[in-house]
Chains A and B, each alone.
Chain A
């Protein structure tokens, strides 16, 4: 029951993030570049709930985005799934308590997501590769994502502990003893 409620809350927050990204951030930009909050969202889910739920949630959210606005089915799904896996890996090997490690994780996953999506798009849609403009946009996006992570960190952490309690009932204890 608790699990169902949490999943419902996660779906609602995903929709809120979608509308924020599509409306608010389409004009609240840094030099015309939008942030990508989906990466932060999926990273946090897998950091607190583990690799498996992270990957599943990442793939589902990615599919939703591909169907709604994407040019080809699967790119966002694969890449958000990978972010879910990366989040699970970070969870096992690094501490989530320090803001600095979280920021480094956001930098890493933003790079992986955007570079991976760009490569897949280049292969699938025969896009003309433009390294310089892409790098500049990516750097601004990373910068913007860091800002947003710092701002919403307390909310994410509170939500994260809740998710952790529900998804990893037994595992949490073994870690501290």
Chain B
């Protein structure tokens, strides 16, 4: 019985370790290999240090030993200074992050000055893998109503679908149930962009007119059709155009300007 318990405990620990490794590896970008470097460093560097020490000893590096006492004292002094500096650095960092948040608010207000807006922030994100709604800290008490558009410093976020006194539910543009009518800023061709399961910040643009010329990195903004989103709000850029046999079926992928994984501060357009 005890043995069975022990094996099951070991099994659980192994599962946790494997899970953590999978989570870490699956979320690492391919070009980001510093962890390999540091891992190898841990293996190689102590041996390398030992070998250097041995070499110095053999070649009679006498100063090395006589200076040890002085060095220790200096080291202690430097460590104290270092901790003081670290403390002030931490304070500075807090001030810096506060500053960027405030700046974001100011920028947001200036950028969309033709609209009446209320700033807020995201308090909860969706729990499901197949939909993308968020909850914000503004409600009917702040003057929020259903169907009001929501934007951020980078571009369009979505629209309000339900309101309580103090919070609102926002359906983002990357939600699979979301559809937006948009135009390409240069050629003024209209498209319909839908949310897709293929990525966190990707839209699929369909109903592309046959005579339209769409190029990668073309900018896309709202067209003003549909009654929810006002005209001219930036959505993102064309990432890829997929041509099919039948030209009416071709579609494009739009990279949204907003990074929905890191979305934090938002503005609700009230007028």
The contact string, 1 if C-beta is below 8 Å from chain A, for chain B 157-175, is 0000100000001010001
Smallest Cβ-Cβ distance to B13: which chain A residue: A151
Give the chain A neighbours of B8 by CB distance below 8 A: 154
Q: From A118, A130, A151, give the contact of B198 (CB < 8 A).
A: A130
Contacts known (A121-B130, A128-B194, A137-B129); A71 close to B12, Cβ less than 8 A: no
Q: From A29, A69, A117, give the contact of B130 (CB < 8 A).
A: A117
Contacts known (A31-B26, A150-B12); A121 close to B131, Cβ less than 8 A: yes
- The smallest beta-carbon distance between B204 and chain A, in angstroms, is 8
**Chain A interface, >50% SS class:** helix
Interface size class of B (residues with CB under 8 A): 20 to 34
Give the chain A neighbours of B16 by CB distance below 8 A: 151
The contact string, 1 if C-beta is below 8 Å from chain A, for chain B 1-44, is 00000001001100110110011001100000000000000000
In the bound complex, do residue A71 and residue B131 qualify as a contact, i.e. CB atoms below 8 Å apart? yes
B196 at interface by CB-CB < 8 Å: yes
Smallest Cβ-Cβ distance to B15: which chain A residue: A150
Q: From B12, B27, B127, B198, give the contact of A69 (CB < 8 A).
A: B127
A114 at interface by CB-CB < 8 Å: yes
- The smallest beta-carbon distance between B150 and chain A, in angstroms, is 15
In the bound complex, do residue A29 and residue B177 qualify as a contact, i.e. CB atoms below 8 Å apart? no
**How many angstroms from the CA of A31 to the CA of B15 in the assembled complex?**
18
**How many angstroms from the CA of A133 to the CA of B199 in the assembled complex?**
9
Q: From B19, B124, B127, B176, give the contact of A128 (CB < 8 A).
A: B176
A46 at interface by CB-CB < 8 Å: no
- The smallest beta-carbon distance between A167 and chain B, in angstroms, is 26
Give the chain A neighbours of B126 by CB distance below 8 A: 69
In the bound complex, do residue B176 and residue A127 qualify as a contact, i.e. CB atoms below 8 Å apart? yes
**Chain B interface, >50% SS class:** mixed
- The smallest beta-carbon distance between B129 and chain A, in angstroms, is 5
Q: Interface stretch among A4-12, A18-26, A50-58, A81-89?
A: A18-26
Most buried by B among A18, A31, A121, A127: A127
Smallest Cβ-Cβ distance to A133: which chain B residue: B197
Give the chain B neighbours of A68 by CB distance below 8 A: 124, 135
In the bound complex, do residue A151 and residue B15 qualify as a contact, i.e. CB atoms below 8 Å apart? yes
In the bound complex, do residue B171 and residue A30 qualify as a contact, i.e. CB atoms below 8 Å apart? no
Give the chain B neighbours of A121 by CB distance below 8 A: 130-131, 176-177
In the bound complex, do residue A134 and residue B15 qualify as a contact, i.e. CB atoms below 8 Å apart? no
Give the chain B neighbours of A133 by CB distance below 8 A: 196-198
Give the chain A neighbours of B26 by CB distance below 8 A: 29-31
Give the chain B neighbours of A128 by CB distance below 8 A: 176, 194, 196, 204
Q: From A70, A147, A154, give the contact of B18 (CB < 8 A).
A: A147
Chain A, 94-137, CB within 8 A of any chain B CB: 114, 117-118, 121, 125-128, 130, 133-134, 137
B240 at interface by CB-CB < 8 Å: no
A28 at interface by CB-CB < 8 Å: yes
In the bound complex, do residue B22 and residue A30 qualify as a contact, i.e. CB atoms below 8 Å apart? yes
Smallest Cβ-Cβ distance to A35: which chain B residue: B129
In the bound complex, do residue A28 and residue B12 qualify as a contact, i.e. CB atoms below 8 Å apart? no
B133 at interface by CB-CB < 8 Å: yes
B154 at interface by CB-CB < 8 Å: no
Most buried by A among B15, B135, B200: B15
Give the chain B neighbours of A60 by CB distance below 8 A: none
**How many angstroms from the CA of A148 to the CA of B18 in the assembled complex?**
11
B70 at interface by CB-CB < 8 Å: no
In the bound complex, do residue B129 and residue A34 qualify as a contact, i.e. CB atoms below 8 Å apart? yes
A156 at interface by CB-CB < 8 Å: no
12 CB contacts below 8 A, A to B, read A18-B127, A22-B124, A31-B27, A36-B128, A71-B131, A71-B171, A118-B130, A121-B130, A121-B177, A130-B196, A134-B130, A147-B19
15 more contacts with CB within 8 A, not counting A68-B124, A68-B135, are A21-B127, A28-B23, A30-B22, A36-B128, A117-B128, A117-B130, A127-B176, A128-B196, A130-B176, A144-B19, A147-B18, A150-B11, A150-B15, A154-B8, A154-B12
A positions within 8 Å CB-CB of B: 18, 21-22, 26, 28-34, 36, 38, 65, 68-71, 114, 117-118, 121, 125-128, 130, 133-134, 137, 141, 144, 147-148, 150-151, 153-154
